[in-house]
Amino acid sequence: MQIYGPNELLKDVHERDLCIACGACVDLCPYFKTYRGKTAMIFPCDLEQGRCYAHCPKAEVDLDGLSENLRGRPYDGSALGNYRKVFAAKAGDRMLKGPFQAGGVVSAIMTFALERDMIDAAVLTDREGLIPVPRIATSAREVVGCAGSKYMAAPTVAAVNRGAREGYTRMGVVGTPCQATALAQMRSNPLDRPDFIDPVALVVGLFCTWALDTRKLIAMLSKRVDITSIRKMDIPPPPAEIFVLETDDGRMEIPLDEIRPLVPEGCLVCPDMTSEWADISVGVLEGEPEWNTLITRSEKGHEIVEKAVSEGWLQTREIPEESLAHLAFAASNKRKRALIKCIEEGLLNTGEEERRSVLRISEDVVRKIVGEEEG
């Protein structure tokens, strides 16, 4: 597959307003930088092929290629992607307490992996004020310090690029599905560099329906609340239809209709809700705020979860069938919406055409996802 360079990245992703500020193109070279929730190219570069383009989750993502590479089979477009098992889960008794978003499964897995030396650092997302910032954590305390969801597009993957330069060779990374896609592309060494060493040992992907534009969210919230007083944000599952802020002064609810205009365009063409390219995926569990939904995908991810359970870092139980059905329904709806939008905007490539696109995916799978008529 053809890989292009930074000028095509600007044209295909930035000029179309599809950049999700994931950070995958940042800190690979001196040219792309992230600042307060935006990524920008600060000096011109005429490279014909670049890792910036090759790793970007909004440029020429070849879903068949990723699936063959990671799962050893063609992409089939199934609602939840390939997986070993889905559980209901929460942090076990061995895990420190902390301000977790839900059951603390993500923080417990990363702490366990660090304590057992399965990873040499955890790449996480903290915040400074309201701005999400990546962190390289090497202790349980730092992992807990990054707990909680920042419902904003975050440049987390930039810290993987930085960590690799600083000499970390077995990083564990927590990221949204777009970030997990960028990592999967990066780990496949798309430019066949002979000096490539995969610096990532574990990817824990979050579920994500959409994120919010950091600058727009700050502009909106600063008119209503002292943003330094925000302790936690949450989007309870449907039918709640609210964005909840917990502040020093109490709880504040904003109708989702007022929040949705802050969703970046890049989220509207995103086909993945459950981080299908991660080793382990984690989201909330409908109706049980103290629990998570946990999906094991790779062999390694499954083994880590089994060990974490046997050593008391995690507890798991069967997921209610109804919750699993709702999750699959929501994930396939997100996929379908994204593909329809890509088709309408000419951003999908189903063949071997030279046309550049956001997603490459086979005609058969597109038909399966969007239905015969729309495909």
Closest CA to 22 of 147, 184, 145: 184
- Please say whether the beta carbons of 117 and 201 come within 8 A: no
Nearer to ligand SF4, 57 or 65 (CB): 57
Residue located via tokens 């590479």: 69
> How far apart, in whole angstroms, are the C-alpha atoms of residue 15 and residue 5?
15
Q: How far is the CB of 208 from ligand SF4 (least distance, A)?
A: 3
Among 149, 161, 188, 214, binds ligand FAD (CB under 6 A): 149
N-term to C-term CA, the chain: 23
The binder of 270, among ligand SF4, ligand FAD, none, by C-beta within 5 to 8 A per type, is ligand SF4
Give the interface segment with ligand FAD, choosing from 28-36, 168-176, 318-326, 353-361 (CB under 6 A): 168-176
Residue located via tokens 């705020």: 289
Q: How far is the CB of 207 from ligand SF4 (least distance, A)?
A: 9
Interface positions with ligand SF4 (CB under 6 A): 9, 13, 19-25, 39, 55-58, 153, 176-178, 182, 208, 210-211, 266-267, 270
Q: In angstroms, what CA-CA distances link 350 with 57, 255, 366?
A: 17, 38, 8
Nearer to ligand SF4, 114 or 183 (CB): 183
Q: What letter would DSSP give residue 212? A: B
Map residue 202 onto helix, strand or coil: strand
> How far apart, in whole angstroms, are the C-alpha atoms of residue 39 and residue 23?
7
The binder of 156, among ligand SF4, ligand FAD, none, by C-beta within 5 to 8 A per type, is ligand FAD
Count of residues of this chain found to bind ligand FAD when the rule CB under 6 A is applied: 32
102 is a site residue for ligand FAD (CB under 6 A): yes
Closest CA to 25 of 56, 48, 3: 56
Q: How far is the CB of 56 from ligand SF4 (least distance, A)?
A: 3
x/- track of binding to ligand FAD for residues 193-232 (CB under 6 A): -------------xxxx-x---------------------
Residue with smallest beta-carbon separation from ligand FAD: 283
Nearer to ligand FAD, 74 or 236 (CB): 236
Residues in 268-287 that interact with ligand FAD by CB under 6 A? 282-284
Pairing of strands 38-41, 32-35: antiparallel
Map residue 139 onto helix, strand or coil: coil
- Please say whether the beta carbons of 208 and 101 come within 8 A: no
Q: How far is the CB of 94 from ligand SF4 (least distance, A)?
A: 30
107 is a site residue for ligand FAD (CB under 6 A): yes
> How far apart, in whole angstroms, are the C-alpha atoms of residue 162 and residue 355?
32
Q: Is 241 left (phi over 0), alpha (psi -120 to 50) or beta?
A: left
> How far apart, in whole angstroms, are the C-alpha atoms of residue 106 and residue 97?
13
> How far apart, in whole angstroms, are the C-alpha atoms of residue 185 and residue 183?
5
Nearer to ligand FAD, 275 or 349 (CB): 275
Q: How far is the CB of 293 from ligand FAD (least distance, A)?
A: 6
The binder of 281, among ligand FAD, ligand SF4, none, by C-beta within 5 to 8 A per type, is none
* Chain contacts with ligand FAD (rule: CB under 6 A): 100-107, 124-125, 132, 146-152, 154, 156, 174-176, 206-209, 211, 282-284, 292
